């Protein structure tokens, strides 16, 4: 299926997107390394061998097209956005001590901690290098600079969100507002930036850029809430990370907050005991916590919160002209709340 819009390059299917993005990620990395067969290249290739859903780069490309731009010109930025996401996952795995990511061994386990840190750093700098190549494809230097500015500020927010998440670990008195601020910084900012940068590189009007920025933020909020639900209600083989990761790291996520809200002091004391038990008997602790989250309807309530975010995201799309790209963004929003991994 080929989709065309007036004044825009032809738009390929999502399968074609995946091929083009993974090809660009591999080639750009190899071309930029002085030693393409060294340990750093091997470690980077290990990560790229297990691509994820590529949601963020696809989001950027569809936002670009929905705002009237040419997604081929924005392809380097889309790939760069994925480089940045990969870097954050590498560093997340180090912080959390996880041994599995996307069905394979994490970098710090397969190679070493220094190699994993360096590989994460490599992907960060590949992110910015990729963005500069948009100018070579015809996007104005001013718009490329604006996109890099948006990206840089987003990276700062992600770091702030990570630090806030770490400070909340085990703090069962964390209010819902603090959790929402944390995921807005840590997770939603990335989807917001992908949408806004796509529209920016389309050189679209401010109205389109603002609508796609808001769409991306609401989408990212819902995505993280669903992630936190799936940690206790997902298919273990599809999660892409250890099932006990959130519990083992004492993460106070929205299902935990809602369970405490429903069960009161007794619920808080029970969860505190389960967090402690997880250190020695994670399976028993996990099973008992899931039971509590179900009986208090915490998971159900969290899903309702995510659905509300999705409705807010889809309303923003009404500010955009009708197009196949806009409908793909609408379908992506619906997919976020129905996914199982």
Cβ-based neighbours of 27, under 8 Å, separated by 6 or more: none
pLDDT for res 62? 96
pLDDT in tens, 51-67: 778 889 999 999 999 99
Residue ranges of domains in the chain: 14-338
Q: What pLDDT band is residue 228 in, cutting at 50, 70 and 90? A: very high
pLDDT for res 105? 86
Q: What pLDDT band is residue 14 in, cutting at 50, 70 and 90? A: low
Residue 213 and residue 199: Cα distance in Å, rounded?
8
pLDDT in tens, 155-169: 999 999 999 999 999
CA–CA distances in Å: residue 129 to residues 25, 134, 189, 264: 12, 10, 21, 50
Q: What pLDDT band is residue 317 in, cutting at 50, 70 and 90? A: very high
pLDDT for res 241? 58
Choose the most confident range, by mean pLDDT, from 113-122, 175-184, 234-243: 175-184
Please provide residue 170's backbone torsions phi and psi, each rounded to the nearest 5 degrees.
75, 0
User: How many Cα atoms sit within 13 Å of 52 on the Cβ side?
Assistant: 20
pLDDT in tens, 102-140: 778 888 988 888 999 999 999 999 999 999 999 999 999
User: What's the whole-number mean pLDDT along residues 84-108?
Assistant: 86
Residue 181 and residue 258: Cα distance in Å, rounded?
16
Cβ-based neighbours of 215, under 8 Å, separated by 6 or more: 63, 195, 313, 314, 316, 317, 329, 333
Residue 114 and residue 290: Cα distance in Å, rounded?
36
DSSP string covering 99-145, please? -EETTEE-HHHHS-HHHHHHHHHHHHHHHHHHHHHHHHTT--HHHHH
Please identify which residue in the block is written with the tokens 């975010």. Answer: 309
Strand, coil or helix: 299: helix
pLDDT in tens, 262-307: 999 999 999 999 999 998 999 999 999 999 999 999 999 999 999 9
- Give me the torsion for CA of 259, 332, 142, 147, rounded to 10°: 30
Residue of 86 and 258 predicted with greater confidence: 258
Q: Is 170 left (phi over 0), alpha (psi -120 to 50) or beta?
A: left
Q: Which residues pair with 11 in a beta bridge?
A: 3
Whether residue 5 has pLDDT greater than 90? no
Q: Which residues pair with 101 in a beta bridge?
A: 104
DSSP string covering 232-268, please? HHS-GGGSSS-TTHHHHTT---HHHHHHHHHHHHHHH
The superfamily CATH assigns to domain 14-338 is Farnesyl Diphosphate Synthase (1.10.600.10)
Strand, coil or helix: 171: coil
| Average pLDDT score, the chain | 89
User: What's the whole-number mean pLDDT along residues 230-234?
Assistant: 86
pLDDT for res 35? 67
Angle at Cα 256 formed by Cα 250 and Cα 259, nearest 5°?
Answer: 145
pLDDT for res 311? 97
What is the torsional sign of CA 232, 238, 240, 244?
Answer: positive
Q: Is the pTM of this model over 0.75?
A: yes
Q: What pLDDT band is residue 9 in, cutting at 50, 70 and 90? A: very low
């Amino acid at each position: 299926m080929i989709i065309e819009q007036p004044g825009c390059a032809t738009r390929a299917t999502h399968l074609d997107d995946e091929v083009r993005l993974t090809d660009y990620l591999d080639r750009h990395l190899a071309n930029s390394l002085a030693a393409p067969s060294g340990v750093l290249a091997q470690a980077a290739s290990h990560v790229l061998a297990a691509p994820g859903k590529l949601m963020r780069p696809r989001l950027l490309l569809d936002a670009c097209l929905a705002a009237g731009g040419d997604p081929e010109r924005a392809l380097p930025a889309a790939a760069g956005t994925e480089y940045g996401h990969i870097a954050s996952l590498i560093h997340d795995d180090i912080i959390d001590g996880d041994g599995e990511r996307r069905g394979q061994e994490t970098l710090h386990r397969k190679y070493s901690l220094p190699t994993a840190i360096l590989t994460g750093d490599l992907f960060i700098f590949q992110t910015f290098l990729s963005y500069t190549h948009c100018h070579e494809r015809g996007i104005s230097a001013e718009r490329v600079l604006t996109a890099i500015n948006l990206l840089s500020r987003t990276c700062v927010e992600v770091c702030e969100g990570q630090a806030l998440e770490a400070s909340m670990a085990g703090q069962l008195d964390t209010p819902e507002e603090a959790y929402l601020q944390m995921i807005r910084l840590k997770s939603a900012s990335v989807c917001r930036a992908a949408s806004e940068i796509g529209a920016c590189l389309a050189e679209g009007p401010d109205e389109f850029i603002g609508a796609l920025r808001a769409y991306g933020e609401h989408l990212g909020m819902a995505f993280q809430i669903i992630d936190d639900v799936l940690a206790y209600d997902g298919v273990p083989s599809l999660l892409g990370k250890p099932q006990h990761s959130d519990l083992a790291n004492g993460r106070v996520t929205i299902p935990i907050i809602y369970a405490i809200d429903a069960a009161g002091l007794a619920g808080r004391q029970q969860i505190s005991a389960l967090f402690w038990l997880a250190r020695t008997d994670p399976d028993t602790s996990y099973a008992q916590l899931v039971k509590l989250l179900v009986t208090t309807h915490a998971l159900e309530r969290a899903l309702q919160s995510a659905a509300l975010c999705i409705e807010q995201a889809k309303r923003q799309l009404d500010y955009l002209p009708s197009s196949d790209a806009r409908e793909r963004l609408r379908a992506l929003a619906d997919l976020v709340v129905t996914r199982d991994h």
